[in-house]
């Protein structure tokens, strides 16, 4: 059974932006990207990188977890796949929050630069991102090569492949079995320089946005 695709990220970002009263240009200024890029993300013509996604959710005061929730996005962006996913969520909403989430029930976010997030579970009322993360060969958390920072404390455990972590002024290579933890406000970046996917479990707690 394949993981469940969530409705388009861009539609959810657009809805949150409209609810916050921010214009497209104002959000772009907050994030430090062009208004055209935000527009392309909202319309599904482009996927955000990990760093851009964190910057957007922080600027909008929402959590990454909220992008997985089954609120109905803007009607113009609802696809058949999105409707199918929402129908599945409505039929069995408990499966998304545990206590057991099987591989076929994971919701998936495809991000830019070869990064895939699969939600491993969520307990309502908690402030945490609990994810199975895959960096495909050549994948990076930031398309520009810059470092990102966001609220929270980050924990990661690599299960396969190799992942290069730039943390502040240091660069470390993570190999299977290696674990990391640090304050996410420290500038950082992940990238996969290898020929195989790098896969691990990541947990970001206390992002401080609702």
80: pLDDT strictly greater than 50 = no
- 3-state helix, strand, coil split of the chain in percent (to 5) is 30, 25, 40
Which tens digit of pLDDT belongs to each residue from 8-62?
A: 788 889 999 999 999 999 999 999 999 999 999 999 888 899 989 989 998 998 8
Q: What is the pLDDT of residue 30?
A: 92
- pTM of this prediction exceeds 0.85: no
Question: pLDDT tens digit string along 170-196?
Answer: 999 999 999 999 999 999 999 999 999
Question: CA angle 199-200-206, nearest 5°?
Answer: 140
Helices H / strands E in the chain, number of each: 5, 10
Percent of the chain with pLDDT over 90: 52
- pLDDT of 94 reads 44
Q: What pLDDT is attached to residue 28?
A: 94
Please report the sign of the dihedral spanned by the C-alpha atoms of residue 65, residue 112, residue 152, residue 210.
negative
pLDDT at site 12: 87
């Amino acid at each position: 059974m394949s993981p469940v695709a969530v409705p388009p990220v861009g539609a959810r970002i657009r809805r949150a932006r409209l609810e916050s009263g921010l214009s497209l240009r104002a959000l772009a200024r907050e994030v430090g990207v062009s208004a055209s890029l935000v527009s392309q993300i909202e319309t599904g013509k482009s996927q955000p990188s990990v760093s851009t996604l964190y910057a957007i959710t922080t600027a909008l005061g929402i959590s990454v977890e909220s992008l997985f929730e089954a609120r109905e996005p803007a009607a113009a962006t609802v696809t058949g796949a999105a409707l199918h996913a929402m129908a599945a969520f409505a039929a069995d909403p408990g499966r998304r929050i545990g206590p057991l989430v099987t591989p076929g029930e994971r919701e998936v976010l495809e991000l830019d630069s070869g990064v895939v997030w699969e939600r491993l579970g969520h307990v309502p009322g908690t402030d945490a991102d609990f994810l199975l993360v895959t960096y495909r060969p050549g994948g990076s958390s930031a398309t520009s090569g810059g470092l990102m920072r966001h609220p929270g404390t980050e924990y990661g455990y690599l299960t396969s492949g190799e992942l290069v972590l730039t943390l502040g002024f240091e660069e470390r290579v993570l190999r299977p079995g290696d674990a990391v933890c640090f304050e996410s406000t420290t500038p950082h970046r992940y990238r996969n320089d290898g020929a195989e996917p790098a896969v691990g479990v990541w947990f970001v707690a206390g992002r401080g946005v609702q």
